Structure 1
């Protein structure tokens, strides 16, 4: 099977040992999700009774049993992620007869962009005359999904080999018994809810949940209403869930790196301005903006080198953090310049609070920074702007910047 490629005509399966399945019953389909097309080979066309000239996807949608559409749709979605996905479903041909179809994904092309391309799958018709007996049992024992059937009273009427392996039981021990008696861990579990939902809504119900019988594993369970019974299929999705979790963690890490300044660890420029604008726009309360600039920073770089200059910026940022409250916003707007937004402070004492924070930052920054045999001394200048209500961020920044440079001119 590993050599199978698209357009493989008349693929034959060695299943003649199974009663009710002829050795030529396997056909192939090719599904292109991007273009929304489905192609049948000659045998698949016979199985689906598909007229020549009609779009394959249109015929397929007409043939699949309405109760199985969601199940098969889920299977095709899964095929994009993992080959070897299997599904047993029903189709209704034009004369009204029901056919049982077992399908399995075999090969998928990839576009040069790595997007999923054409999916090739095999389709096997199971003789409906014996589908509920020996043939179906043997076929389902070869399916990689766990499969079980409960009647309306929750009596176990079928369990395939994968189900036995997952549950750690043998069919002979559990069939004909109420599922709660045969498998005590199921009592009061998700199985009850899925069974009830499938019976009442008569539509598929799916969830992902920790396995009851395989600690540390995650299973995806789907319940389908079928002629008064509820058919459950379940598969181990632990690896997929863990991969998704890793991707989410990586995505969060990327977002964190985008939010924070790599050098100092405080907010980066874009996130800083976004947070300040949001706080100023959402609150009608007073606020203060501190524009902090490291004095004569170029001399530090020229004297000690850029590595020491980076150390100075990191240290200044960390010392500033110590004087910010839980609702304040601190970030590096660029170079040796930082912004502190002071929020959630009483309007009557806002100026005094801003001056206190300025004084504390200025005093803390003056503490010499040790580097090898050197003790680098730096100072900062701080411009202050106040607002008593909603204010445009650009205006407040301009006011703080103007105050900063007034103070710098005073120093010189």
Structure 2
């Protein structure tokens, strides 16, 4: 059984939901985990002004509420959602879809279309930004304009959709991400569009020659939002052990759980390479190294961590591990665990149990709320289309609210 973050037989595999998590031991900090990073997308022709499209003026249907978990807003009839989806401490702050735009010269560009939740309208609203990240608390979004890489970062008020502030930079950037405490941004810089696909970098995909990416990372900024000061550190594209460039055109930097280090995906036992803010490579943090499953999502109280998909003979289940001992503490429905709604409940992707055979309906999935104590799963969204490469296939942004 493959999830769409595990598939590598598509031209472009977007990153999955970005997730904000709290640290129980240090409640002032928020922990963010990127569940999976594939080849990311961005850019279509468009203006530099946000374009909001209302999700409808009608009164939304009553949310489905759970008596077991506080503050559950479920929309099992909506895919993509129009009204807020939330469970416990986590909400879908927005979502994106992706597609590839072919160009006359044989090149192509991956594009994102982002929708953000607007508190004033109570709907998700489509935007014209090329890149979006949402701060903890869902009050502010960091955005980049079309035609990446961009030379400034916008800070958007999510209640109005208006840019409150621009931060100008000297080197062009292709992505931004808030630190776990929401006080800083890491902005990865590129000299080419990181989502560009070029004819002179073509490769064969399913017996067809397709344009390929070009690594062009130059470094990153750490931006202090209180002062607007941006510190740049050079960091060229990373190479793997064979001397070839690792990954693809997009090689974004991410914050670690505590917001002290930065990391990028790597094909090593830890799955990550860490750097300090001066771009010097750092050892794996002790807290990360002590966890029983690299890349797992830690519960707010630090008791549980998500493990692997372990379904066999038609089962659609994943394991939850004891974070200290590494022993299995529960089996829960779903292919991919995304975020902890509270200490005992998670938001996950699960494919349609009636159509879950590999190659048929494994990508027809929906967001669900699952409990580690064996409660029945609660559908949070409607089902996505079964085709992995469908342009309307949406990916949520999960944020602390």
TM (norm. structure 1) is 0.24
Higher helix share: 1
Higher relative contact order (CA 8 A, sep 6+): 2
Higher strand share: 2
